[in-house]
Structure formats: structure tokens, C-alpha cells
Amino acid sequence: MKSWIAFWNILLKDMRNYYLKPPNISWGLVFPVAWTLMFFLKSQTPVNVRELLPGVISLSILFGTTSVLAVTLTFERRSRSFERLLLAPLDLNFLMLAKTSGAILFGMVNAFVPVLFASLMTSLSGLQWIPMLGAIFLIAVTSTLLGLFIAVSVKEVFEAQTFSNFFRFPMIFLCGLFIPVQTLPLFLRPLSYILPLTYGADILKFSINQNGHLALSLNFVVLLGFATVLFALSIRNVKRKWIY
């Protein structure tokens, strides 16, 4: 019971202190909206909002979660407040679950902002909500753990944001968010399939437009595998670099 009390206190503290900071708002919400507006302004023909929606949802989760972890963990490492948490009588796995759960929730909330906007512009009837919610959750989990992996590798917030962009911007073009993976050059496709966002976006395409190109069960299995591996690698890095 005491562990769960600590869990909620850590989660609430992070939400209160970090999640509404300007970098999180700009990267997690403003950037995906601006990217979508670019399509409306550039296109000479009417834009299919439902076709854009899987990519915008994926972007909102990816940029929101990684920005949160960059701010939260890097700032706490610099101020040495994270070291005080490590002294608490909590299992390390449970502690990192508490630190990442807030980012996962933040990413899931971000996902529904473009859904809300899309509902004002077009009909969203026929959505398959169960696989869509599963995809949103697993994209948030894998993106959060990617952010954790990045945060442990740097010392300053601006370094974390810069390093995050090294992964995030290529994923916009390689993961089938707006450009189908099947149309990419053959030498780039292997890169697409080693990125977890490819599988999450494919589930969203199936859930929203029924045009995913991979088996639904395969997508979920691969995403669960990525989440497990990323969590194990993140815990290993925390033990190696943060616990002396």
C-alpha cells in the first residue's frame, strides 16, 4: 500500500510541476497541429481528414511523450532530486513505472486532441475503438520508453530535445504516418520495420480507415515486444549511468 501511495505522489508531482511546461505544449500539441495545417495550405485538392488522422495522432503521442521525459528526468538529474527518489525504499522498476506513467497518460490525452478537431471537420463513424485505444496506449508506452532511453544519455534539457529530434523527425517519413511504407524506396523499408511507430500507425490506419497493410495481431505482438525490450534497456541504463 505504501508503494502505491508513493506511486501516486510521484505521478501527481510530475503532472503538477512538468507536464504543462511550454516545451511540452509546443512539441506535443502545437507541432502536430501545425504539421496538419501545412497539408491544408499546400494541397490544391480537398484534404481527406480521416486519411491524415492516424499520422497526426501518432505525432501528437510521439512528440508529447518524448518532450515530457526530456524535461522531467533531465531536469531532476541536474537538480539531483532524482537521486533522492533512488534513496526511497521503492523497487527501481516500480519507481521508473511511476516516472513514466505520467508521460504515458499525457501522450494518450494528446492523442485525442486531433480526434476532437477531426470530429468537427468530418464524420468519424465506423471507427474501431478497441484496436484504436490499444494502439494509442502502446504507442504512448513505446514512445515514453524511447524518451527515457534518450533522457538517460544526456545531461541538459536542450540536449535531450536535440537528441530526441534525431529519432523523431526521421520517423515522420519512415513510419508510414503520411507516406505509405509500401511506397518508400526498397533500401529504406527495413528502417521502417525496426521502428515501433510503424506498427502503431498501421493499427490506427486499420482502426480509422480499414487500410492497414500488416496483420493486426502482428502489430500488437511487435509493439509489446518493443515495449518490453525498451523497458529492459532503460532500466539497464538507469542502473549503469544513474546508480553509482
> Tell me, what amino acid is at 183?
T
> Which pLDDT does position 43 carry in this prediction?
60
Q: Is the pLDDT of residue 36 over 60?
A: yes
Tell me the pTM. 0.87
Q: Is the pLDDT of residue 242 over 70?
A: no
Question: What does residue 178 show for φ and ψ, rounded to 5 degrees?
Answer: -130, -20
Question: What does residue 218 show for φ and ψ, rounded to 5 degrees?
Answer: -60, -45
> Which pLDDT does position 181 carry in this prediction?
92
> Which pLDDT does position 162 carry in this prediction?
77
98 — pLDDT class (breaks 50, 70, 90): confident
For residues 73 and 149, the answer to whether their CB atoms sit within 8 Å is no
**d(C-alpha 3, C-alpha 190), whole Å:** 42
> Which pLDDT does position 230 carry in this prediction?
87
Q: Is the pLDDT of residue 141 over 90?
A: yes
For residues 106 and 96, the answer to whether their CB atoms sit within 8 Å is no
**d(C-alpha 244, C-alpha 74), whole Å:** 17
Region 184-196 average pLDDT: 92
> Tell me, what amino acid is at 194?
I
Q: Is the pLDDT of residue 244 over 60?
A: no
Distances (CA, A) of 238 to 23, 33, 232: 24, 34, 10
